[in-house]
Chains A and B, each alone.
Chain A
């Protein structure tokens, strides 16, 4: 079992090699081979993830630290005490991420075989998908902040490449796609600025960037309890969990010697990773001074600063206010990309980072409040905007932003386990919904071609090129697809119910745990963030159920509103099978973390199993007790919202006549609906506040200040002319023979070489100026040399 941990570099190597092969030879090998290689590489990674899961189970959750072979160290500057290795960590948190990233990833690879069929850059697409997996796995396996950052920016790059995958589309669509890609990268870079600053602060505070050093325990004592008392024993309630000893396997050895310790007290401070140091230092003295040159901060304030900078990174990568604006535009990418990167995996990287750094966030109360506020506000605002969208993918995009808000808010109220639980369940049902929407778009496109009887094959799905005539993503062009795409319909409804948090689907369990945690944080700990979160998230949950059911009704129910919808047909098995598998998980994955006292379910599935598993790594992953009142209330709210949406949009006349929303037609709801439809003018505001001033200033700096003033006026005008004038003035009276000689000699030399430069009219004056200058230099040398002699 021990040796399985050594396999972890392979989980990155497989997709990396797959990407490499497809990148260089994919186009020549044809679709089938390219698809096989890409999907196979991804599946092999999933197998490795399973083996790592088995490893953890078999060793009592002993975390392993693995140095990949061949890559010997990374950033190592001994004289600067800088030592950042390529080093990977296998623990319950990273394996959780690995499992669903590679699992969902493999399904989406499979789906893409059907979806991307016939695309001219088919193999390139699989190369990028594999490359994304490789970077995502670097992100989650890295044992230090910098390696995480490599993955962090790497997935951003893949996101850029895949959003802009159809950058060459005609009629300006290519430009729009690549604009969306560029926007995503730049907005993410703003977030990355925060991550970099957090890294700098961390390094100069702790002298290392390692999460945990080999041999160090991530969790000492019990959950949420950072005390490093001697002989602390694991609390009994973790029935089937083995002792919470996370020992490390450093390369081949060090297996036997670590198991005896239950805390890190035997390790010197500077031999601890960043989290171990925080725990010890905060216990000793939260005001421990940290010197930053111009100012000194208490450690607790440093942690607030670090976590706030991290939060900036999270708002970028995980699309939170104020940086969420890139994600809706990112839907310009092919739908499998939206599902994999912009819903299931990459966007949860921010949540992963915060859960990984839970020790920091736990100690930084102020940041936690801000995190709760940001998450709640994002959940609310994005949920509100989703109410007024027509584009099927755009609704899902805002829904994703909203759900990410739930996860971030969960971190803010200290519910790290619940946050990651929602990451996992959301990965399944949101991937399902996106792939389902892709299937719908695919079907409607086919129907459109069929209806117009010019079948140019099945590619170019998310192509807005037909916008003026037909938009296959506009829900107003759909309707009645239930009978034409039955499997897509059933799985889509399952995904919707899971997302809406209907019992017993996956989303119910994870969303309820977040709500319960928020409530407990408010009610028990008197945590302001908890009260805000429970209120805001409940409303957002209502929005969720409403806009999702609106979508289901508009897309699948009623009668077809266009010829395209009428002729739509079910997608190929390659696309439907992943839907069925994801639907299965969307129903059942929630049972991995059923709370302890619900309908006897814990007797079947165990209680808090996921939280306990995570608690082996995440020191503050406490399990919240089930709150019947909140669960029932939230459920009732969601059902009410679904019924309401059904009544408003299920009406046979809704949306058909003038393609306007029923809410738009009612005086009391119209202004709100219009605001949601205009996306609260968020993008326009940013354009006015930031983008346009930035561009105007750039042009001013470049054309006016740097060129017209500094280059033309000051240099060419003042300095250049002045120099020429002085040169002309001085050249006449000054005649010392020696200058003449030097000037003549140099002048001759210059003339000899520059024969090719005769054509210049002004050349004479300028050449004269140079020779003059050279002459001056020579004179200085000649004058000064005797001086040296007399002095020396």
Chain B
């Protein structure tokens, strides 16, 4: 299984850095060379990641495309990468979103105002590298490094090319995530020292055969504290209610591509972390804390939707809708059964596509009108017919209309929460109310922006979509219909890995029930 020679996965991981290096040697003035190099790099990375999917064995539960090299052997730290059913789709999502984000920035107004085109695309590629790294790292220290590195380019993307309060938003984003990361770092170090290795698969194997154990005897014990150390870092990233305060700032201030990446991929690092580390490393604590976390998730679903409905700023509305949507993902994960976790992982992808798509659309409106105030719009469907129709599809996808992607994820999650051994009927019922509320705020947004009389002069002569704008929306639309109508290929990638994870965590349900009355 371990491969020391050529690895496709390592190639995928480092391709963005190759592009990064090439970009360093292109002069700032050669704008189109810069843009196309960045886009080309991300596109090649996407194609390479599709090769990963083609070569991926659905029947295999363990890691594939593994590559491991020694780094700091005395500390048990190694360059250890590999993917399984939990991470394959995350890698694909990252490489899918990045070319879209890069292409969407091609003609953006932000460069007229702020310039620095080269730096922008350098950060984009750096970010892609770090994000892929987060999803493929199998060593806790490597994971932590990638995790922290993602902060830097995003910090600057918001801080340099963002809107009016960009510095404030960037710093808040940075500090907030940092604060959580410190706890996670402590937990990582403790786990690594205890286990004698930082390699996640080895630690999990140790837990399964009993050679490694983190003492657990209730909601507040060693394992629970370790669990919470990880959990809080991830919860801030997701964000799980009530740790969401950084999100509206970051989203509203970030440039369009930044919002797309933030919603599309960065937030998923949090939910991915929950599945990848929290559940298998601390199964008992996960079981014990699941109801508490699920309550937060359900509150987030309803609260995010409700708050979203009252927004007057389109971007903020979409930002809060993420709190609601990711509440579903967290609920699914902590249902701790196959339906919930598979639904949760698919919903991560769906949210990336739908909410990423919504941010793209909002960005296109902003490019034309330079306002995010809902009241400034109305009748846009008439001004931009094609744009209006596409917006409707993306809105419906975000609302979870059956036949489109969002529904598949939400339905599977709710089904899982309903039949969960640790959650059950009432969790699912309250979460399902979120489905009603999604229609309330999404249709509100759609009506106020796209429907109604086209009565404002400045909306009457909006320039039609540019080629790159259409080009980024088409893959979004394809993905929306593809996942909605034929989700099986996506679920197939997860089956084996999720099955093993559920079996691993599930064996603790009864023991925990005794420990935590």
Contact = CB atoms under 8 A, between A and B. Distances in A.
B339 interface: yes
A193 B242 contact: no
Q: Identify which of A79, A150, A193, A703 gathers the most chain B CB atoms within 10 Å of its CB.
A: A79
Given A71-B486, A185-B439, A788-B193, A204 B418 contact: yes
Contacts of B436: 186, 189-190, 192-193
B285 to A, nearest CB: 20
A20 interface: no
Nearest to B181: A777
Contacts of B418: 200-201, 203-204, 292
Contacts, number: 222
Contacts of B502: 79
A10 to B, nearest CB: 18
Q: Interface on chain B toward A: helix, strand, loop, or mixed SS?
A: helix
B292 interface: no
- Which bucket holds chain B's interface residue count? 35 or more
B339 A792 contact: no
A75 B412 contact: yes
B178 A193 contact: no
A657 interface: no
Contacts of A157: 396, 401
Contacts of B186: 780
A80 interface: yes
A736 interface: no
B425 interface: yes
Contacts of B320: 702
A201 B428 CA distance: 11
A182 B495 contact: no
A25 B9 CA distance: 44
B414 A153 contact: no
Nearest to B496: A79
Contacts of B447: 164, 178-179, 181-182
Contacts of B212: none
B167 A701 contact: no
Contacts of A776: 182
Interface in A136-175: 146, 149-150, 152-154, 157, 160, 164, 167-172, 174-175
Nearest to B429: A197
Given A197-B432, A200-B428, A698 B185 contact: no
Contacts of B174: 770
B309 A698 contact: yes
Interface stretch (B214-222, B367-375, B451-459): B451-459
Q: Interface on chain A toward B: helix, strand, loop, or mixed SS?
A: helix
Contact of A82 (B181, B381, B412, B425): B412
A762 B166 CA distance: 13
Contacts of B112: none
A756 B498 contact: no
Q: Identify which of B342, B403, B499 gathers the most chain A CB atoms within 10 Å of its CB.
A: B403
A77 B338 contact: yes
A789 B443 contact: no
Q: Identify which of A23, A72, A75, A756 gathers the most chain B CB atoms within 10 Å of its CB.
A: A75
Q: Identify which of A186, A701, A788 gathers the most chain B CB atoms within 10 Å of its CB.
A: A788
B310 A701 contact: yes
B356 to A, nearest CB: 22
A756 B486 contact: no
A72 B488 contact: yes
B373 to A, nearest CB: 15
Nearest to A81: B338
A193 B433 CA distance: 7
B65 interface: no
Interface in B408-431: 408, 411-412, 414-416, 418-426, 428-429
Contacts of B381: 167-168
B245 interface: yes
B62 interface: no
A728 interface: no
B461 interface: no
Given A293-B422, A773-B175, 4 more contacts: A157-B401, A174-B453, A294-B425, A706-B307
20 contacts: A71-B485, A75-B487, A79-B495, A146-B411, A168-B379, A169-B453, A178-B452, A186-B440, A200-B419, A203-B415, A203-B419, A204-B418, A698-B306, A702-B309, A703-B310, A710-B245, A770-B175, A773-B178, A780-B185, A792-B76
| 7 A-B pairs with least C-beta separation | A293-B424, A702-B310, A80-B338, A698-B310, A79-B499, A178-B451, A167-B451
Interface of B: 74-76, 114, 116, 119, 156, 159-160, 167, 171-172, 174-175, 178, 181-182, 185-186, 189, 192-193, 196, 242, 245-246, 248-249, 303, 306-311, 320, 337-339, 342, 379, 381-382, 389, 396, 401-403, 408, 411-412, 414-416, 418-426, 428-429, 432-433, 435-436, 439-440, 443-444, 447, 451-455, 485-488, 491, 495-496, 498-499, 502
